Structures are given as C-alpha cells and as structure tokens.
Amino acid sequence: MAELLAPLLMIVPWVVAVLTAVVLMVWVERRMSALIQDRRGPNRLGPLGLFQAIADAAKFIFKESLTPAGADRPLYLLAPLLALLPALTTFVVIPFGPAIEVSERTLRMLVVDTDTGVMLFLALASLGVYSLVMAGYSSNNKYSLLGSLRAAAQMISYELALTLSVVAVLLPATSLNLAAVVDYQVSKQWLGFLPGWNVFPQALGFLVFLVASFAETNRLPFDLPEAESELVAGYHTEYSAMRFALFFMGEYMAMTTLSALGVTLYFGGWTLPGVDLAAVAATVAGWCGAPQLFGLPLASWLGPLFGFGVLMAKVALWLLFFVWVRWTFPRFRYDQLMRLGWKVLLPLALVNLVAIAMLTVGGVL
Amino acid sequence: MEIAVFILFALVAVISAIAVITHPNPVYSTLSLIVTLFATAVLFVLLGAPFLAALQILLYAGAILVLFLFVIMLLNLRRQRSTSPRGRGQVTVAALGAVLFFGTLAASLLATGRPEPGALAPVSLHQLSRALFSHYLLPFQIIGLLLLVAVIAATVLARRAPAPEEER
C-alpha cells in the first residue's frame, strides 16, 4: 500500500508548485519587465497588481477559441495539450527532501526512485518538441510552419550540449539517480570553505547547461520559434484563448522543471550547506510535542516539506534570472543561434566532459 | 496488473504500427511511429529494462523522428503518398519475406520455449555498463567507429561544392 500511496503523495507538492509557479511568473514577468524598462507595470488589481494573473486567466477562458480554415483539426487540438505533458511529468526524478523511515524501510523523497534517473527527465523533456511541431504543421499557416521548423532544429541542436553537460555532473556522482547527485554534493566541500556544489568544479558545464536551457525553453534571447518581428508569433500564431494559454503555461512549467533540474545538478538541490534539514525538522517537531500524523512522526512530514521549500526558493531565484535575461538581451539571429549551438556550446560541453572524466578518474572530484 | 499493462500497450503498439504503413498522410504515419516506439518503451520497462526504454524515447522519439517530421514538413507532403503500382512480383516477394520472417521467429520461439516468470531479472545500470565496457568492448568500439564513418560521409555528401561566383 505504501509503495502506491507514497509516489501519489509526493506528486501533490510538485503539481501545486508547478501550477503556482505559472500564476506567479505571469505577474513576476510583467512587473519585472516594467522595473527593468522603468515603467510601473500592472498595479491596479489587488496588492501590487498580484491578482493580474486571475484577470488574465478569466480573459483567456471567456475569449473565443478559433480554429483556422484548413487546419488539421485532430493535431491542432492535440498540440496545446502535449505542451503540458513534459512539464507535468519530468519532475518525477527530482529529489526534494531528506530520506525518511516508513515501516522499517528507507524512503527517498523522489517520486520515481530508479537508477535510470535523469535519463527519464531528458527523455520526457525531449518529447516537448512535438507539441510545437504539431502546432506549426496543423495550423495551415506559413509563419506557424516556419516557427515549428525552427523549434525542431533548435531543440535538437541544444539538447546535445545540454545532455553532455548533464553527463559531466553524473560522472563524479557515479549514478544517474539525482538523489545520488545531491548526496555527492553534500559529501563534498571545495577549497575548505565553499559548499560542495557542482557549480564550482563544473563552472564550464554549468555555463553550457544555462545557455542550452534558455534555448530548450524557447526563451529570449533564443525565442526564434516565435520571433514576433519575423514570424508574427511563430508556431502559436493561429491559437487563441485557452489553447494559446496552454502553450504559455507549458513554457513556464518547463522553465520551472528545468530550473529544478539545474538547481539539483549544480546548486545542491534541496539541501542547504551546513544545515541538516532532517535535524531541523526533528527539532521543530520536538517543539510541537512530536505528535504522530497518519502513522508517521511529524518530523517525517516536516523534513520533506522544508526540503521542498528550500528547493523551490532556489528555483525561484533561477526563474528570476530567466526573466532578468529575457528583458536584457536582444534576440539572436537564426544563423548565430545555430553557430553558437554547434560550434561553441557542443565543443565546450565535450571539453568539459573529458576534463571532468579525467579529474574523476584522477580522484580530484 | 502486469498482464493488463502488457496487453494494453502491446495492442497500442500493434495498432499504431499498422497505422504507420496504412495512413495516407505521412505526418500521421510518423506520429503513429512515435506512439509505437512509446508503447514498445513501456514493454521494455515491463521486461526490466527501464534504461533501454529511456534511451529509446530519448534517441528515437526525441531526436530521430523529429528529423523525419522536419523533412516531411519541409517537403510539404500534404495528404499525398506516392501510389506506386503494386506489381505481382512485389506481392510475391513481400509474402515470401513475411513467411520467412515469421517462420524464423516462430522457430526460435519454439526452440527456446516459454521463459519462466521472473526469469528476466532487472539488470542494474552498473551491470549493463560493466558488460558493455568489458565483455562487449570490441563490438561497442566498432559500432562507434561505424557511426563516426557515417557522420563523416553525411558531412561530405551534404557539403555543397563552392560555386565559382561564391569564391572571392
């Protein structure tokens, strides 16, 4: 029973967090862009304009959903739904808290605890491109088609560099399971005072991962598939109302899960340097008299909860960086994008991989 | 439970595989192929090979078939498929091939017999990589070399000969 119930319970915080991130990011993006451009931004609805997202959602729901003439209807309707699929599945391999004891067994805090680990994340994330390709093909619009062709080429090109930088992180941890990657970072300390985060020894790999993650999520400066000045709105030109909103949500959710992956790979995931969250949870539970909750001590509930909070705080900072970059950098040209992916990022990722492999074998990492 | 999952995804795999070869629209054929690969990946998981399943989705569904779609969309093959006339010879050869294939398959299945349930112990990633880099090292390296040759050949073929007016 516990085998079935535990993964279901662990999905709950993820779904809540990913959906909340979408609502918050809509507001953050608009307020922060206003801040960067020296404007006020939406500030009428609720405190600081916080309810703007609700107004946006209401508008999306009540707008008319159009289907263009000559559209390939089944694919046209399926594409926006597929946009949510990778974002709602990839988080299953990301750990979010200290392991707990359930009926004599150690239960690690990740939904799918398998040694396939991060490969599952990459496999599911790679399916995201089909949503864009199907949308572009089925819309019967040349701008949509061009946008989705760009998306397909761009995502395949940058997936290589992204995967290679991820592999370099897995080498010293000697496992594909992200829980092992977090454990490895907890066990290390660099130069005697830096936390054992992978970002320090793998700064080059981190840079490649960061740039490639912008391209994978179609964010500026790599939002060529929807470049307004050339393609109207790219692959979602013909989508309106809630169907358009699904693409929009898919993009923010993919950003959230990819940020969670980045935080786990390079910034220690749910852990804080020098803080044992399990001990903190036990102390807090002690203040409350250490009651039992659904057959488990309170500390076993608080530990994962604190871990998830730490993980989400780090993800929030990463997301702010996404927004900051979007409103700071101009868009790349398409040939520049391809050159950067194949002639700069891929060789850099390979150099990083070989260097990390040698350092790992040499026992430095 | 396992049997139910197997039957469901085996059915999905077979039906989508049939759709791949019968659907008049090449885009739908390719999308059906993705469904087939996905369903086979689930069968791999049932057989205790989740890593193979993840690789199948990552490489085939996530990369190779995107390129298939890419080419089909570039050529704009909309709702048309080359209707080459099916000659008598083609049907004969196809039937012969099918009989040979299923004959070999049935013969090998009969020869090996039904595997015991649980005979397929899940292989851990460490065991897999150890086998790949020790016992099967030479075939592994040869495949790597073969792929490298293919990459170089593709690059050479794709490179356009510089036109005289382009050269300054």
Size of interface A-B (CB pairs under 8 A): 69
Q: List pLDDT tens digits, range A41-58.
A: 788 887 887 888 888 888
Output the average pLDDT for chain A. 84
Confidence at residue B13, expressed as pLDDT on a 0 to 100 scale? 92
SS3 readout for A38-52: CCCCCCCCCHHHCCH
**CB atoms closer than 10 angstroms to residue B76:** 9
DSSP states along A153-218: HHHHHHHHHHHHHHHHHHHHHT-S-HHHHHHHHHH-EETTTEE--TTTTTHHHHHHHHHHHHHHTT
Q: Which residue of A has its CA nearest to B74?
A: A149
**CB atoms closer than 10 angstroms to residue A332:** 18
Confidence at residue A77, expressed as pLDDT on a 0 to 100 scale? 86
| Average confidence (pLDDT) over A301-322 | 88
Confidence at residue A194, expressed as pLDDT on a 0 to 100 scale? 81
Confidence at residue A314, expressed as pLDDT on a 0 to 100 scale? 92
Confidence at residue B29, expressed as pLDDT on a 0 to 100 scale? 87
Model confidence band, residue B80 (pLDDT cutoffs 50, 70, 90): low
| Average confidence (pLDDT) over A183-204 | 84
pLDDT above 70 as % of chain B: 82
Lowest mean pLDDT among A57-66, A140-149, A347-356, B84-93: B84-93
CA geometry: angle A251, A252, A255, nearest 5 deg = 90
User: Taking a C-beta distance cutoff of 8 angstroms, is the pair A314, A267 a contact?
Assistant: yes
Distance CA(A49)–CA(A55), nearest Å, equals 10
Distance CA(A189)–CA(A196), nearest Å, equals 4
Query: A345 CA to chain B: closest CA distance, Å?
Result: 18
Give domain limits for chain A: 66-361
DSSP states along B70-99: HHHHHHT--S--------HHHHHHHHHHHH
Confidence at residue A351, expressed as pLDDT on a 0 to 100 scale? 92
- Strand, helix or coil for residue B29: helix
The residues, ordered by sequence, that sit 6+ positions from B138 with a Cβ below 8 Å of its Cβ are: none
Query: A303 CA to chain B: closest CA distance, Å?
Result: 29
Nearest by CB to B62, from A127, A145, A176: name it: A127
Q: List pLDDT tens digits, range A230-268.
A: 777 777 787 878 888 888 888 888 889 999 999 999 998
Q: Which residues of B touch A (CB under 8 A)?
A: 27, 31, 34, 50-51, 53-55, 57-58, 61-63, 66-67, 69-70, 73-74, 124-126
Confidence at residue B167, expressed as pLDDT on a 0 to 100 scale? 47
Confidence at residue B85, expressed as pLDDT on a 0 to 100 scale? 61
Give domain limits for chain B: 1-81, 125-162
Query: B10 CA to chain A: closest CA distance, Å?
Result: 21
Distance CA(A255)–CA(A86), nearest Å, equals 11
Residues in A touching B27 (Cβ below 8 Å): 72, 75, 137
Q: Between these two residues, A150 and A166, which has the higher pLDDT value?
A: A166
Q: Is the pLDDT of residue A299 over 80?
A: no
Distance CA(B88)–CA(B67), nearest Å, equals 34
Confidence at residue B86, expressed as pLDDT on a 0 to 100 scale? 66
Distance CA(A311)–CA(A18), nearest Å, equals 12
Instruction: Tell me the Cα Rg of chain B.
Output: 21
* Interface predicted TM-score (ipTM): 0.79
Confidence at residue B145, expressed as pLDDT on a 0 to 100 scale? 94
Q: Is the pLDDT of residue B168 over 60?
A: no
Q: Would strands A100-102 and A105-107 be described as parallel, antiparallel, or unpaired?
A: antiparallel
Domain spanning B1-81, CATH architecture: Up-down Bundle (1.20)
Model confidence band, residue A33 (pLDDT cutoffs 50, 70, 90): confident
Confidence at residue A41, expressed as pLDDT on a 0 to 100 scale? 79
pTM above 0.95, yes or no: no
Nearest by CB to A137, from B51, B57, B73: name it: B73
Distance CA(A13)–CA(A302), nearest Å, equals 13
| Average confidence (pLDDT) over A130-137 | 85
